[in-house]
């Protein structure tokens, strides 16, 4: 029976399912979300399974041939595809394996049984199918998820910031971690997380990806003051952004 | 004669991708197994080359549900390797946050994933109409446990403030008092949960196996201690490989383990069986009400044991906060340590069972080898053994009922398949 609500489905690929868990947690404070949308597929949380959906949220990276087929199938069905979290948006932590030769990685884990397990370098889903929107972060921010859903329902552009984490950190009046002798990726990382890591005394790890036009010269000045080179900070960036850094290097070559 | 063909591709309401395959022809069981089909993620391979300071942050990403458990086990290993002595305050805060995760994970499993099976629903969503009070209770406790983790670590999934030597943040006394008041209020929710789950018609099924957990002499063990089994074995954590004996199986990206028998079980039921007497008195009363008298050999009751552990963790959290407040909570810098070439094993009994992290570091504190052994992997052989015993007992039932019972059995183990296929190394050191 059609109740007029947009039908929404959740899918996951290589990931920890922490972003879907964050979606479930968003119901604690936004149970009325279910008045506005109908969730027809969400394997982690429900057995019901509908194949007729307009909006698909996809968590996780593409790491095998069979993932591509599933991704194309979802793209064919959905009007709107949203990359949910760093693994889908950036490749994220999964792409750390791309820093090692693939055969070495498989043998390291599965030894002489390596051939049993299919895998290739981890990619964001946007490398395989067209993505209409993304919700960054590892994990996603609960409130940002709700904001994006609202925007999608209203047909407006999802409000994802394109300024750095430092803006939010300053608004929270945190002491700059560089002044405490820590190395933080906040100056070039996309905001929207409310600077949660620096607010808890931990350096930004860059899980939301680089801002579109990072002020690299200002960043270099900050790093120089901290006695660091661009190479040193880039090695930190590999934690979540290996795929982007490798693509960029390939373009430059 | 019975002919059954059950193929549940991607079992729902579990964390990650697993499938049930059953093939019965003329009453003869040809196939009966649970396959893990999750995409492998290769954590042990790619943490090589990363600095010690990143390890707990990277490995917490193995799992969104037991992120605190992975981070804590990871820090246990690194801190043991670097000779870190945590302060009393940091030790208490680690325990408190761990309790938060146990409550968080168990409420998710018992209410959102298991309860719909008994209440005739495919998910928690229809229950909002039919069992609104129970759903609101679950949402309330889930928020409480998440908030408990958040005041200490910033958030539950992938905590920010856990670091080698302690924390990068200290909760305020007012925050602790507020959360303690909510924990006290949650006693009513715990009582209601015990009543609800005690009233459920748990499937009747018994299969004795070996139960493996951590043990401590002075408390119900979640962080550190020794590895014990219900068959009477005891090992220091460093000797974990004598317990786990991992092997690859062709239809599963999760490796299997065995110890004294063909299989063993880990998780809430194993902990309850091994450490029942150390549960808080209220939790022991809950266990009695739920009919859990060790040794409990019905694996479906793992979910009931989780309810008991929620009661324990609520009570113990109230106690820990009392202790913190009476000591006075002070901001502390992480404990000092020296980086050197070293190796160590850390272990925690996370929501789904005993977890091991084993790291080797070079002289610059760069990880050169790592091994993580996950509870869900350790349960795989036992789950399959249960399926093989259960199936002949229910063969005469309709195919849908057989499928549903097998799905419920899988769910009872609360498998965390993302974890299981995080990928394990075969040969170590």
Distance between CA atoms of B213 and B269, rounded to whole angstroms?
9
Regarding whether A178 and A126 lie in a shared domain, the answer is no
Q: Does B62 touch chain A (CB under 8 A)?
A: yes
d(CA B313, CA B377): 25
Give a yes or no: residue A76 inside a domain.
yes
Element (H, E) at A9: strand A7-12
User: How far is B153 from B361, CA to CA, in rounded Å?
Assistant: 26
A positions 66-105 inside 8 Å of B (CB): 67, 92-94, 96-97, 99-100, 104-105
Residues A139 and A170 in one domain: no
**How far is Cα A133 from Cα A148, in angstroms, rounded to an integer?**
9
- Please, what is the end-to-end C-alpha distance for chain A in angstroms? 55
Which pLDDT value is given to residue B256?
81
Q: How close A156 comes to chain B (CA, Å)?
A: 28
In a domain, A141, yes or no: yes
Cβ contacts of B253 on chain A, cutoff 8 Å: 117
Segment B178-195, tens digit of pLDDT: 999 999 999 999 999 999
Domain-embedded: residue A2 = no
Q: Quote the CA–CA distance of A57 and A70 in Å, as a whole number.
A: 13
Who among B15, B140, B160 is closest to A202 (CB)?
B160
**Of B163, B169, B273, B259, residue with least CA distance to B213:** B273
A146 and A193 inside one domain? no
Q: What pLDDT, in 10s, does the model give residues B272-284?
A: 999 999 999 999 9
Range(s) of the domain holding residue A29:
7-154
CB nearest to A17's CB, from B54, B169, B418: B418
H or E, element range at B36? strand B28-36
Band of pLDDT at residue B426, cut at 50, 70 and 90 = very low
The residue that leads in pLDDT, B40 or A65, is: A65
What local confidence, expressed as pLDDT, does residue B25 receive?
A: 86
Distance CA B158, CA B119 (A): 32
Q: Is A70 domain-assigned?
A: yes
Last residue of a domain, one of A128, A154, A180: A154
CATH number for the domain harbouring residue A123 = 3.40.50.700
| Any domain includes A34 | yes
Q: Look at residues B52, B165, B162 and name the one whose alpha carbon lies nearest to residue B96.
A: B162
Within this chain, do residues A40 and A86 fall inside the same structural domain, yes or no? Answer: yes
Say if residues A20 and A45 touch (Cβ distance below 8 Å): yes
Question: What is the DSSP-derived secondary structure letter of residue B203?
Answer: P
Asked if residue B90 lies in contact with residue B332, where contact means CB atoms within 8 angstroms, the answer is yes
Q: How many domains does chain A have?
A: 2
Task: Name the domain boundary from A127, A154, A181.
Answer: A154
HSE-CB of A113 using CA atoms within 13 angstroms = 18
pTM of model > 0.80: yes
Residues A138 and A190 occupy one common structural domain? no
Cα→Cα distances A221→A180, A195, A202, A228, Å:
17, 21, 21, 10
Query: Which residues of chain B have a CB within 8 Å of the CB of A22?
Result: 64, 157
Contact yes or no for B39 and A106 at CB 8 A: no
Q: How many residues does chain A have?
A: 253
Nearest Cβ partner of A200 from B41, B112, B154? Answer: B154
Residues A125 and A76 grouped into a single domain: yes
Domain shared by A237 and A146, yes or no = no
Nearest-CA distance A133 → chain B (Å)? 22
Considering only the beta carbons, identify the residue of A21, A200, A202 that sits closest to B64.
Answer: A21
* CA of residue B402 relative to chain centroid, distance: 27
pLDDT of B425 > 50? The answer is no
| Residues on chain B touching A17 (C-beta within 8 angstroms) | 15-16, 63-65, 418
The total of other beta-carbon atoms located within 10 Å of residue B27's CB is 12
Judge if A131 and A181 occupy the same domain.
Answer: no
Q: Looking at the predicted structure, is the pLDDT value of residue A72 above 70?
A: yes
Specify whether A15 is located in the same domain as A115.
yes
- The secondary element (H helix, E strand) that includes residue B316 is helix B302-327
Task: Tell me if A159 is assigned to some domain.
Answer: no
Chain A residues touching residue B10 (CB < 8 angstroms): 43
Residues of A in contact with B153 (CB under 8 A): 200
Which residue's entry shows tokens 């820093």?
A99
Question: Are residues A189 and A112 part of one domain?
Answer: no
- pLDDT on residue A116: 65
Of A95, A130, A154, the position where a domain reaches its end is: A154
For residue B373, whether the previous peptide bond is cis, meaning omega lies within 30 degrees of 0, is no
Same domain? A187 vs A239: yes
Residues A141 and A182 occupy one common structural domain: no
- Report ipTM for this prediction: 0.93
pLDDT of A96-136, one tens digit each?
999 988 888 777 777 776 666 677 899 999 999 999 999 99
Task: Kindly tell me if the per-residue pLDDT of B418 is higher than 60.
Answer: no
Let me know if residue A160 belongs to a domain.
Answer: no
Angle at B375 between CA B47 and CA B414, to 5 degrees: 120
CATH assignment, B43-389: 1.10.645.10
Extents of the domains making up chain B: 43-389
Interval B120-164: pLDDT, tens? 888 888 888 899 999 999 999 999 999 999 999 999 999 999 999
Tens digits of residue pLDDT in B282-311: 999 999 999 999 999 999 999 999 999 999
| Spatial separation of the C-alpha atoms in residues A206 and A243, rounded to whole Å | 13
DSSP string, B81-130: HHT----HHHHHHHHHHHHHHHHHHHHIIIIIIIHHHHTT-SBSTTHHHH
Confidence of residue A145 (pLDDT cuts 50, 70, 90): very high
Residue A179 within any structural domain of the chain: yes
| Beta-strand pair B234-236/B264-265 | unpaired
């Amino acid at each position: 029976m059609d109740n007029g609500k947009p039908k929404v489905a959740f899918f996951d690929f290589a990931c920890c399912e922490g972003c879907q868990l964050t979606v479930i947690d968003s119901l604690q404070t936004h149970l009325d979300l279910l008045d506005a949308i109908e969730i027809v597929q969400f394997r982690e949380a429900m057995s019901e399974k509908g194949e007729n959906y307009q909006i698909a949220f996809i968590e996780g990276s593409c790491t095998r041939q069979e993932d591509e087929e599933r991704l194309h199938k979802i793209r064919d069905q959905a009007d709107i595809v949203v990359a949910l979290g760093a693994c889908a948006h950036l490749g994220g932590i999964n792409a750390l394996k791309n820093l090692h030769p693939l055969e070495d990685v498989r043998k390291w884990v599965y030894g002489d049984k390596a051939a049993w397990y299919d895998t290739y370098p981890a990619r964001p889903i946007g490398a395989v199918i067209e993505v209409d929107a993304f919700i960054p972060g590892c994990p996603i921010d609960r409130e940002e998820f709700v904001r994006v859903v609202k925007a999608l329902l209203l047909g407006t552009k999802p409000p994802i910031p394109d300024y750095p984490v430092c803006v939010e950190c300053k608004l929270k009046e945190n002491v700059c971690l560089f002044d405490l002798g820590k190395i933080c990726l906040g100056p070039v990382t996309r905001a929207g997380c409310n600077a949660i890591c620096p607010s808890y005394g931990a350096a930004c790890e860059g899980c939301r990806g680089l801002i579109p036009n990072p002020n690299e010269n200002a960043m270099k000045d900050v790093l120089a003051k901290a006695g660091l080179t661009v190479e040193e900070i880039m090695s930190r960036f590999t934690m979540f952004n290996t795929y982007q850094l490798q693509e960029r290097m390939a373009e430059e070559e | 004669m019975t002919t059954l063909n059950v193929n549940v591709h991607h079992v729902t309401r579990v964390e990650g991708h697993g499938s049930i395959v059953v093939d019965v022809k003329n009453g003869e069981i040809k196939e009966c197994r649970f396959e893990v089909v999750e995409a492998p993620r290769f954590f042990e391979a790619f943490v090589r080359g990363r600095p010690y300071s990143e390890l707990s942050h990277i490995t917490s990403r193995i799992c969104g549900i037991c992120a605190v458990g992975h981070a804590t086990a990871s820090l246990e290993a690194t801190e043991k390797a670097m000779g870190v002595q945590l302060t009393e305050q940091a030790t208490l805060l680690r325990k408190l946050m761990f309790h938060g995760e146990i409550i968080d994970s168990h409420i998710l499993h018992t209410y959102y994933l298991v309860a719909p099976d008994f209440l005739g629903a495919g998910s928690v969503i229809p229950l909002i109409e039919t069992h609104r009070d129970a759903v609101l209770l679950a949402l309330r406790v889930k928020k409480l446990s998440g908030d408990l983790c958040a005041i200490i670590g910033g958030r539950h999934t992938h905590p920010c403030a856990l670091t080698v030597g302690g924390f990068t943040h200290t909760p305020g006394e007012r925050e602790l008092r507020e959360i303690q008041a909510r924990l006290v209020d949650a006693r009513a929710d715990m009582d209601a949960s015990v009543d609800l789950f005690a009233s459920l018609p748990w499937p009747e099924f018994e299969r004795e196996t070996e139960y493996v957990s951590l043990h401590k002499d002075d408390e119900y063990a979640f962080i550190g201690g020794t590895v014990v089994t219900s068959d009477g074995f005891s090992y220091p954590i460093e000797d974990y490989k004598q317990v786990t004996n991992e092997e690859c199986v062709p239809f599963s990206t999760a490796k299997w383990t065995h110890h004294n028998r063909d299989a063993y079980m880990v998780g809430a039921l194993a902990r309850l069986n091994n450490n029942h007497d150390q549960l808080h008195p209220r939790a022991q009363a809950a266990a009695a009400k739920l009919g859990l008298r060790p040794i409990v050999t019905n694996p479906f009751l793992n979910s009931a044991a989780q309810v008991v552990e929620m009661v324990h963790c609520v009570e113990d959290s109230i106690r820990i906060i009392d202790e913190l407040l009476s000591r006075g909570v002070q901001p502390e810098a992480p404990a000092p340590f020296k980086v050197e070439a070293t190796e160590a094993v850390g272990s925690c009994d996370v929501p789904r069972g005993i977890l091991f992290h084993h790291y080797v570091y070079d002289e610059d504190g760069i990880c050169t080898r790592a091994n993580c052994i996950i509870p869900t992997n350790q349960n795989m052989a036992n789950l399959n053994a249960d399926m093989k015993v259960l199936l002949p007992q229910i063969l005469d039932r309709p195919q849908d009922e057989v499928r549903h019972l097998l799905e419920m059995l899988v769910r009872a183990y609360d498998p965390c398949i993302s974890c299981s296929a995080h990928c394990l190394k075969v040969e170590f050191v």
